[in-house]
Amino acid sequence: MKTPLSTLALIALSGAALAETTVQSCNREVTFDAPPKAAISNDVNLTEMMLALGLADRMVGYTGISGWKTLDAEMREGVAQLPELSAKYPSKEVLVGADADFFFAGWNYGMKVGGEVTPETLDPFGIKVYELTESCIHIGEKPKVSIDDMYNDLLNLGRIFDVENKAEALVDSYKADLAGLVAGSDSAAEPLRVFVYDSGEDSPFTAGRYAMPTALIEAAGGRNIMDDFEKSWAKVTWEEVVERNPEMVVIVNYGDVTAEQKREFMMSNPAFAGMDAVKNNRFVTLEYVEATPGPRNIQAIKTLASAFQEK
C-alpha cells in the first residue's frame, strides 16, 4: 500500500522541524535549518572561538584582524587555509561576495549600530548573524559582564554548527581549570584595585562594567576600579583614574603603541607619580586576544592571578 502524499509531506516537515536550531542572539532569536557551511568570523578572538570548536572547514574566511592586530603562531596555523577578506570591518559587499551564509561578529566587533553591516541588512542575502554576547550592551540592557558570556557564545556556536558535545566538553574543561584556581585563592583578602589601560594618552580608553576584563579581573581576585562605569569599552578621564588610585595596571597589548610604551608613558608622567601602581611599578600585560571574549580568557585569568599575588 502506498503512503499518501500528504503523509509524506508531514513526515518531511517533521524531519525539517527536528533539524532546526534556535539560539538567542542579543535581543533576537535566530533559527537555523541546518549548520552553516560558509561562515565568516570577525576579529581575532571570535575567530579563535571558531577554531577552538574545529570549525575552520565550515568557514570561507575571516575579517578584521590585520588592520589592527597581528596573528601569533598558533592563530596563523589555525587560519592558514582561510583568506582574510577584509583587514578591518567588512562591507556588506565583501560578505555577500564571499557567498557567506553566516557571520559571527559583535557590536564594535565588525558591526556598528546603524551601520551598513547588521543582522537586518544581511538577512535579505541569506546571511544569518550571531552576535558576541559581551557586545549586546550596545543595543540593549544586559547583566554585568561575566566569564559565562564567553561560555554562552561557545555553547551557542556548538548548537548552531551541530558540535554541541564538543562545545560542552570545552566549556566544562575551562570551568574545571578555573575551579582549581579559585580553590587556591585567598577569598578573605581585599580585592586589588585594578585599572585597565587599553590605549590613549589624552584620555584613556578602558574597560567598564560590561567589558570582559572586568570579569577576568574579578575571577583573578581583583576589582576593576571602573566596574561602576556603565559602559563596555569607552574613554574616561585620567583624573578619575588618579582619584581611584589603582594598585595594578593591566595593559592591553595591540596596535602601533606597544605595551612597554604605554607603561613608560604612565611611569614617566608626573601626574601619575602618586598612584600606587606607578609607585610600586605594578603592571601586567594581556594580549588583545586574551582581554576580549574567547578561549584565551582562561590563561588571562591565570596571568592576572599570578601578577596580583606578587608583592
DSSP annotation of 139 reads T
C-alpha cell read off for 187: 577569598
Query: Of all helices (H) and strands (E), which one includes residue 50?
Result: helix 44-52
| Residue pair 217/273 in contact by the 8 Å Cβ criterion | no
Dihedrals φ, ψ of 110, to 5°?
110, -20
pLDDT in tens, 224-240: 999 999 999 999 999 99
More confident residue, 17 or 292: 292
pLDDT in tens, 143-194: 999 999 999 999 999 999 999 999 999 999 999 999 987 665 666 678 999 9
> pLDDT-based confidence at 1, cuts 50/70/90?
very low
Mean predicted confidence (pLDDT) in 76-85:
95
For 179, residues 6+ apart whose C-beta sits below 8 A from its C-beta are none
How far apart, in whole angstroms, are the C-alpha atoms of residue 106 and residue 180?
Answer: 31
Which stretches of 27-97 are assigned E, i.e. beta strand? Answer: 28-32, 39-42, 59-63, 84-86
For residue 40, the cross-strand partners are 61, 103
Is the full-model pTM beyond 0.75?
A: yes
| Amino acid symbol at 106 | G
Torsion angle, alpha carbons of 270, 274, 280, 286, to 10:
-70
Q: Report the mean per-residue pLDDT for the chain.
A: 93
Residue 213 predicted with pLDDT over 80: yes
Dihedrals φ, ψ of 308, to 5°?
-65, -30
User: How far is residue 66 from each of residues 3, 20, 84, measured CA to CA in Å?
Assistant: 58, 35, 8
Query: Given this chain, do its domains 17-174 and 186-309 carry the same CATH topology?
Result: yes
Share of the chain above pLDDT 90, in %: 88
DSSP annotation of 138 reads G
More confident residue, 138 or 188: 138
How far apart, in whole angstroms, are the C-alpha atoms of residue 149 and residue 135?
Answer: 10
| Residue pair 23/133 in contact by the 8 Å Cβ criterion | no
Q: Residue 181: what pLDDT?
A: 79
Residue 2 predicted with pLDDT over 70: no
Residue 5 predicted with pLDDT over 70: no
C-alpha cell read off for 141: 540592557
* Four-residue CA torsion sign, 255, 40, 208, 174: negative
Q: Residue 70: what pLDDT?
A: 87
Residue 86 predicted with pLDDT over 70: yes
More confident residue, 10 or 226: 226
Mean predicted confidence (pLDDT) in 90-107:
98
How far apart, in whole angstroms, are the C-alpha atoms of residue 121 and residue 102?
Answer: 13
| Residue pair 250/279 in contact by the 8 Å Cβ criterion | no
For residue 299, the cross-strand partners are none
Question: Domain residues of the chain, as ranges?
Answer: 17-174, 186-309
Homologous superfamily (CATH) for 186-309: Nitrogenase molybdenum iron protein domain (3.40.50.1980)
User: How far is residue 160 from each of residues 20, 33, 165, measured CA to CA in Å?
Assistant: 9, 9, 12
C-alpha cell read off for 168: 560542552
What top-level class would CATH report for the domain 17-174?
A: alpha beta
Share of the chain above pLDDT 70, in %: 92
Q: Residue 311: what pLDDT?
A: 59
